[in-house]
Amino acid sequence: MAASGAVETISFTALDRVFAGVMTSNLALLGMAVGRAQGSAVTGAVLALGGFGLGAGVTAGLTRRASSPPAHWSGRVTACLAGEAALLGAGAGVWAALGGTPGESARNALQFGAAAAMGIQAAAMVAAGRSAAPTTYLTGTLATYIVKGVGAGRPSRWVPARLGAMSVGAGICMAVLRTAPAWAGVLPVALVACALLAARAASGPGSGPGRGPASWSRLTRRSR
């Protein structure tokens, strides 16, 4: 969640003023850009939509036959998330080399790559099934929490934590962009890497009932 917030911050504030992982908003932004005849805004929205679609499509193909215990990510899901981290790492390297101020061509390439990374992440979480939850779009999560959680008297502590994590990731990334812009791209890479390490530790011999993604998964399912 925090990684998604960080990527969205870079995408919207420092690239093409579109979102890397929220395609609903990008479709609306595309329509507005067309209505205003703003070519650059149309380009940004199209790049984000195309990158997300490519990342999600490739991940869907790689994980289509993946299977894993309900409490853990499969090897293919983990490999796709590692690929996302590598893609974000490449983008962070380009970003740093350009001092956090890329030109138009570099911005377009970085926008496409950021959206592809979010597409990978979104599709990987879908493929993970019950052992994961949405990480790039939270409107449905919030609505479900209000209707079936708070409204039913069974609120889950994990939903506010997930919503908060996205905001925290965005806030920290914004602070880095303001103080050390060349290093902003490192944050989402580090956050995805931490998630992979945590998942690996939780699925190892030391993991058991009530620990790691298994416990988290059960709690999040109760809130749906």
Least confident span in 10-14, 195-199, 217-221: 217-221
- Alpha-carbon distance of 31 to 49, in angstroms, equals 13
User: Region 115-132: what's the mean pLDDT?
Assistant: 89
Q: Are 172 and 41 in contact (CB under 8 A)?
A: no
Half-sphere exposure of 155 (CA within 13 A, CB side): 8
Query: Does residue 97 register a pLDDT over 60?
Result: yes
| 71-94 per-position pLDDT tens digit | 678 889 999 999 999 999 999 999
CA distance readout (Å), 111 to 91, 95, 190, 207: 9, 11, 19, 38
Please report the pLDDT score of residue 151 as a whole number. Answer: 53
Domain count, the chain: 1
User: Region 14-24: what's the mean pLDDT?
Assistant: 94
Domain range spanning residue 104? 2-222
Half-sphere exposure of 199 (CA within 13 A, CB side): 21
